[in-house]
Structure 1
């Protein structure tokens, strides 16, 4: 397993386990098995959110509770890195964003209780609230950090412009800036239909360069491109389900698929090595967040977690 190098106070594996469905769509038993396998494979980063699966069922807090119960039963809290997200409530697919000091303070206490811990390693704002001044938001996050219950603060699905403004304000006033961004980041060309959610963001050139220049690390959700490249290589593009092709199949992504096929044949590696390696070997320090529906998917990812994808290959994929 590889680990983020530019963060010293928290050991963050470059593969992160996404647990959105744990405790709801994924049973507690299977969730525990996946967490055990991930942990035994050297994984430390476990990613969740306060509102996961609240949008489809009574899932608010269930993922956190499942993780907390697992950590308690295994006695491993000090050996893992917990990332959770705050600031959002759902009623169905309607999002209600509230980044007030009162709300974020309340959610932090709820997350701590659910996770059965006294601190959060990485605390992320799940969405931005553009109407609220970034100065107020960064001061609230500073307040939470100074309470000693949060180690690293970050933002999920924030635009470059808002993140830059927030961090410049933090630096100017001697506060803790956002040290990480969680966003759509993968080797696939992004298009809106991939996520169909105007509240989400993807890694763009401005954000990428800013993060490198400011010693930040990225948290890449949907890092596996929904398995599009792996399925297309293994089963043929014609056998990939139509919904997935609608989300991923573009002219550029088909060129990338062709490159991946040739690269895997020439280097005797699996497509997962390339897809994961694009993040874990990237010049920008990053962790590839993965969500698995069964043990075999997680086993495949862990088998490839140490693969070093050459920077030349990453540059070629970016240029296609």
Structure 2
């Protein structure tokens, strides 16, 4: 499996990251998927304090397999709806969530730690100071931001640089070929063209959640099928159906599937990217692995994203 590196982490990071949001228990189907991911060469898992028992399940499985030192754990904290209502992007919430996550995971450190939401009214200084305390205590190897705007990430990194601190070395917003009409969940951030341009200039790694747009390109959805209200609300638009049409055309040309084209779009950006995936069976995992090897020209990327007309070249 292809891998990349993030500053602060001494392990390679799989470009396909296994999401744990759908883990319900540690029984045969779940074990089969986790085992298959490891056999395929994957080594990176995405979880969060807000996912609660998902961290426990992942930690139990890693302990049983004795894999902790071979894998990369990305967990997140300071979500607004976790523990107490309202904005929680502050040193106290960060410390509470991190320590509880470490206990649930059964480890004394996480490789990647991201703030799950942002509070634009919160000063970046105390946040970066708190995160750096945990880096110094070896509880965290690298810090990042999930669902922060690139302007806030830049502000935080400028503060860190001017105060001798370690800044964010990755971000984790939504990035997918289908562009959301509105946030899928409150407080979420999707990478628009300005965000991608900023990542291109700074070469900051982006770990994309909902990288396959909730299955929008799977063939299970059509403009006249309005049953899934969340998909209709977030992804149904004329532009996205045109992106689907183009993905299907390019898929036929390359002898792959549209959903593989959509995943390959995320992995073919001009800056380092990983895609967080949630395969439900080994066939879906294999499909994602195959998509990792699809290459696009710049013209194909632009055509898929409606940035140019005519046929893909």
| Structure-1-length-normalised TM-score | 0.87
- CA displacement, residues 143-196 of structure 1 (integer Å, 9 cap, x when unaligned): 11111111110011112222221111111222111111111110112211x51x
Task: Pick closer, same or farther for the CA change 1:78–1:306 going to 2, 3 Å.
Answer: farther
Q: Is this contact kept in 1: 2:33–2:280, CA < 8 A?
A: no
Q: Which residue in 2 is equivalent to 1:173? A: 163
Give 1:136 shift.
1.1
Helix, strand or coil for the counterpart of 2:107?
A: coil
The alignment's C-alpha RMSD in Å is 2.3
1:168 and 1:270 mapped to 2: Cα distance?
42
Helix, strand or coil for the counterpart of 2:249?
A: helix
Which aligned runs of 4 or more in structure 1 are off by greater than 6 angstroms?
none
1:83 and 1:228 mapped to 2: Cα distance?
25
- CA displacement, residues 208-227 of structure 1 (integer Å, 9 cap, x when unaligned): 22222223100111111111
1:17 aligns with 2:18: yes
Helix, strand or coil for the counterpart of 2:172?
A: strand
Q: 1:108 aligns with which of 93, 98, 103?
A: 98
Give 1:305 shift.
2.9
Helix, strand or coil for the counterpart of 2:49?
A: coil
Q: Is this contact kept in 1: 2:267–2:273, CA < 8 A?
A: yes
Task: Pick closer, same or farther for the CA change 1:252–1:95 going to 2, 3 Å.
Answer: farther
Task: Pick closer, same or farther for the CA change 1:298–1:114 going to 2, 3 Å.
Answer: same
Helix, strand or coil for the counterpart of 2:275?
A: strand
Q: Which residue in 1 is equivalent to 2:42? A: 43
Q: How many residues align?
A: 305
Q: 1:162 aligns with which of 148, 152, 158?
A: 152
Give 1:249 shift.
2.1
Task: Pick closer, same or farther for the CA change 1:95–1:305 going to 2, 3 Å.
Answer: farther
1:77 aligns with 2:68: yes
1:311 and 1:6 mapped to 2: Cα distance?
25
* Gapped regions of structure 2 (runs ≥ 5): 309-313
Q: Which residue in 2 is equivalent to 1:205? A: 193
Helix, strand or coil for the counterpart of 1:189?
A: coil
Give 1:126 shift.
0.6
Q: Is this contact kept in 2: 1:274–1:309, CA < 8 A?
A: no
* Gapped regions of structure 1 (runs ≥ 5): 53-59
Q: Which residue in 2 is equivalent to 1:57? A: none
Helix, strand or coil for the counterpart of 2:73?
A: strand
Give 1:238 shift.
5.0
Give 1:86 shift.
0.7
1:105 and 1:247 mapped to 2: Cα distance?
33
